[in-house]
Every structure is written in C-alpha cells, then in structure tokens.
Amino acid sequence: MASIVLGVAASHSTLMNTHWDKVVHTDRAEAFRDGLVAARDRIAAAAPDVVVLVGSNHFRGFWLDMIPSFTMGVGEVIAAGDGGTPKGPQKTDPEFAQALAQQLVDRGTEVAISARLQIDHGQAHAIQYLLDGIDVPVVPLVVNVFAAPLPTMPRVAELGANITRAVAEIGGDKRVVVIASGGLSHQLPWPSDWTAPDGDDEEFLVDAWLNGRGEWERYNDRRREIIVSAQPTIFPDFDEKWLADLEKGDMRQYAELNTVQIAEVAGNGGQELRTWMVMIAALGFAPGKALAYSEMPEWLTGMGVAMIEPSQTTTQNGTR
C-alpha cells in the first residue's frame, strides 16, 4: 500500500533567482535558503518514490479561456523556465498520476487532468530547490488561486484528505511526499477583479491572461516590469501565527476562511495558502515544524518553510 511519508510547504519567488544581488536583508534571505536546504535534506532522507507537487499557476500554463479549480498532470509535464527556474520536460510517473486522479474523482474531488501540462515557477521553484539532486518523479497538482472564483478552503481541505485516502488505495508500496509551493502573505500588483481591470497595467495583465496561451513570453518583459516595481505588502504577524499554529496542529480554523478574509489578512498572493492547506489536510492536520521564516520585502513575500511528519493514525486510516 502506498503511503504519505512526509509533507513539506515552502514559499516561492523567482526574485530569489533574478534579484539576489538586490537583497538588503541578506541574513533573512540566507535563513530562508537554509530552510529550503533543510527541507530538501529531509525529503531526501524520506526516500520518496514519487512527489505530489501542489502549486499555483501564474498564467503561463493556464489562461482565462479555461481554468479548472484543480488540475493534475497525468502525462508529460513541461516547465516553462520562467524567472530562472527549471525549463523543459520533467520526470513524471503517469501510471501513478492517472491512478491518483481516478481515486480522487471516485471520492468526489473532480480534478481536471492534463496529458501535457505546462507548469511555471509555482511548481518549478520547488523542483529547483526542494528536489535539488533528488531523482524522483513529480505529479503536479495545480490549484487555481488567482482567477476568481477560487475553490473554497473547505473544498481544498477535502482535496487534501482525499489525497491521503486515494494514496492508501493505490497498489504497490510507493513512498509519497506531498509538497506545497506558494504563499505566505504577499500582495501582487494584479487586478482584484479580472473582469474590471483598473488602469493600463491591469488592462495589459488581463489581456495577457486571456491571450497568452502558447506565447506567454511575448508578454513577459512588461509583466516583469510591473511585478518588480510593486511596493511590498507583507503581513508578518499573520505569517508567524500561521506557522506557530502549524507547529501546534491547530490549522483547521484556517480551513473556514473565505477568499475575502484571506485577502484581508494575507493579501491577494496569500490565496496561495490553499496549496499549504492541501498538504496540511493530506497530513491529517498533524503538528508540524517550521524550518524558516523571513519577511522579504525585496522578494515581495513572506518566505516560510515547514514540514509535517505523518501521524500514525493518518498513515493507517488515510485520515485523522
């Protein structure tokens, strides 16, 4: 019987690749990077056979012409290579991915599937740092966190619990690590309502989101300028409480937040906390450990790393 042997979550930011030389708070940046290395080493020690990689989409693989709430890569997985992250085909396990998708559907989580999925830094940042030097296939699970309406947090928590049950039903003895990539708090210079963009920059972004399929690079330079020029908005008090509650195993309270409430306490980028919630629920809301937290205005984001070991109850029953 396959089983989940570890859960890891980490923030991502391509500015870590492209703007390291602009960092003022180098001690904070190095603390976050050290946290990634510690998590990477723990993943290696867990000796996974496959990684379920839960991340977001930044309009390089999905577009406003079609955005499912949840999408699983069940065939080819191609990394866009944006912001210095890995580019090209990634190692995958289509047989496991297809079985996992079927099991999730059987349990009421109707994930979309993609036989040729393009991922961006929302997943590739984790491949670059958390799986550095680890030869393991990935099964990407993309959560829509930016194009409203977004999946509800209860629905996201249910997805996590169903992953645990589904993994337990899949044949073989695979060791599965669940990685969440995204968050913590941050505010992106993106339109709050893509149907009503305000100003030239927001109109440009919505145009890119609607018409970028197959040619995202055509929009990348101006888009990058908009992102880099944004003023940082980070909520460190929220981030620190989130991580403290994760260590206590007191995360069910966050599964009740709605989209508006998340934006108020963690910014529009904080909607990526859904990826953390998938991992946390998959690990049965067990107490975890925060490996690093750094408020990084240079990267526009609260940068955190945490992990959760599976509880015995979760391992045996597929839920806690």
Residues labelled as active-site residues: 121, 186
Q: Residue 3: in which H helix or E strand, if any?
A: strand 3-10
Which are the contacts of 215, defined by CB distance < 8 A and separation ≥ 6? Answer: none
- Both tokens of 104, joined, read 């999730």
Strand partners, 179: 8, 53
**What is the spatial distance between Cα 278 and Cα 283, in angstroms, rounded to a whole number?**
9
CB-side exposure of 255: number of CA atoms within 13 Å? 21
Residue 299 CA to residue 26 CA, distance in Å, equals 12
Q: Identify how many contiguous H helices and E strands the chain contains and give both numbers.
A: 11, 9
How many angstroms separate the CA atoms of 42 and 309, rounded?
10
Contact yes or no for 89/81 (Cβ under 8 A)? no
Geometric angle at alpha carbon 101, from 55 and 318, rounded to 5°:
85
